[in-house]
Each structure stands twice: as structure tokens, then as C-alpha cells.
Amino acid sequence: MNISRHLADLDDIQSDCDYYASLLEKSLTNIQKSPANLGTLAGDARSYAGYLSVQNPNSIELYRALRIAAYSLTEVCRLANVPEGSYEIFVGEREPVMLPSGVTSYSSGISWLKGFYLAIACRETHLNDSLAQIPVAILKQSSTRSDEYLYLQIEALQSFWKGQADTPQRVIEAMKATDPEQVKVGTIDAALNLAVPEIDLLFRLLENDATAFNEALVKALECHKKHWGKKSLKNDPHGFLALGPLGLAVIAYGRGISIEVESDYIPKYIIQGDFLK
């Protein structure tokens, strides 16, 4: 089965790629000025990756952009979880820089979630190890707040990553919290079309059932397309890739589950780890 990307205005894709390639280099240069610039860097890297996934989804440059985003989001969350001081920060390339610790608007639950999926996709498992140790209470200190279901989803992923026995119960708790009546911060649309399918995919991973996982993956990608295909969102490059389904599909692939779904949202180049060859 193939699930195509939603329709977007991509007539100037080369110009878009060139613009974000240049912006990414500037952001890499500016990270030493403030921890918040790590969040800006991650956003620019994700935008660049989004356009690259349209222009050339089999390029090493796509992997590079995703990797920079993974490191940046991990580091901005890590800086919120260490004692006061300055710390060496590495964003996947160039020389490390020293940045002060502290909570920022970017050390949020959504940054943790995207960073976790990106780290899986890039096979940077030490980043996942680092993220798995960050308490949700730290993420809640960020001025960028999320609904409770997202924090429960994070705790479920942390439990899953550590191989803990309470993972199934945590997954169920996260799913229950997506009840529209409990959604107070974000949109119900995002809860139902992004969070619910991701949580369901995690549950299917626990079952280790290839058929059920692929069925859930199809649903997740269709829901992603429904959410990001809206007029107000269709041209946002952050929607050109489905990071949650991509990351969880990478785990499934690594476990020997055949991914029967092809989609622009989850490049086969990344799922199969062709960038490692």
C-alpha cells in the first residue's frame, strides 16, 4: 500500500531547499549565543528535512538534517535537567559549544517527543538513552505546555525504552487521556489524528504483531495526512514527514517486522537505514 503526501504548494521546491540549507548553516553558527537557539536550529533542520523529503528523499543530506534536529532537541531538553552551570553541547557536527543550563520555551514535552522519534530514525540510540532519563516534571516547567496525554505518552515511551513491565499500563493511560473532554491546551484534531495513532502504534509494537502494526501504520499515516492536509497547514514543511510513525516503524523494522506500507511521510531510505551503508 502507498500513502502519498498531501497536496501542497511545492512549485519552488529547489528555492525552498536552498533557503533552508542556508538558514541551517546560519543557525549552526548561532547556537553558542543562547540555549534557545538550539530550538531554532532544530526547527530549521526539520523544515530543511521536510523539503528534502520532497526533493530527494534518498539523500544523505536528509539524514544530516534529521540528525541535527535530533541532537538539538535532545540537548535543549538535557540542559533543563542538569545543575546550574555551563555544559558542552554537540549538535551532530562542528565543534561542541558551551551553553548555560536552564529551562526554556524549547525544553518542552513536544521537543522531547520529536527528539525521541528523530533519534530513533537516525539510529542515535544514546540520545534516546539520555531522553529516557529526563523526568516529565522537568518538561512541564517549560512555558510551552501540552495536554496531559502528551506527558503520559512520553512516560510510556520512556518505560518502553527501558523495557519496564509497566509499559502496557502506561500506554493505556496515555490513550485514555486523549479523550476530547480532557484536551484543554492543544486541539482535539491533533489529539485524535496525531497522538492517538502514535500511541496505538506503540501498543502494536508491544504485541509484536506484524499485521496489526502495519494496519496501525496505515491508519497513522492517513490521520497524519488528514491533519496536515488542511489548508492552514498544508504548506508547513514540518508536516511533510510523519516523525512518530517514522520512528516507530524504524523500531519495527529493526525487530524484523516487514513494513508493508510505502509513503512519502516515512522515507524507505530512513526506515532501512540506507544512510549507514
| Residue 94, pLDDT score | 87
pLDDT along the chain (277 residues), means of 10: 96 95 95 88 98 97 98 98 96 92 96 99 98 99 98 99 98 98 97 99 96 98 98 98 99 97 98 93
C-alpha span between 96 and 232 (Å, rounded): 38
| Residue 235, pLDDT score | 97
| Residue 183, pLDDT score | 97
In the beta sheet, which residues pair with residue 89?
A: 97
**Angle 106-107-109 from CA coordinates, rounded to 5°:** 100
CA end-to-end distance (rounded Å), the chain: 26
Residues 157/202, Cβ–Cβ less than 8 Å: yes
| Residue 32, pLDDT score | 83
| Residue 277, pLDDT score | 81
C-alpha span between 28 and 198 (Å, rounded): 31
| Residue 67, pLDDT score | 98
| Residue 36, pLDDT score | 84
| Residue 182, pLDDT score | 97
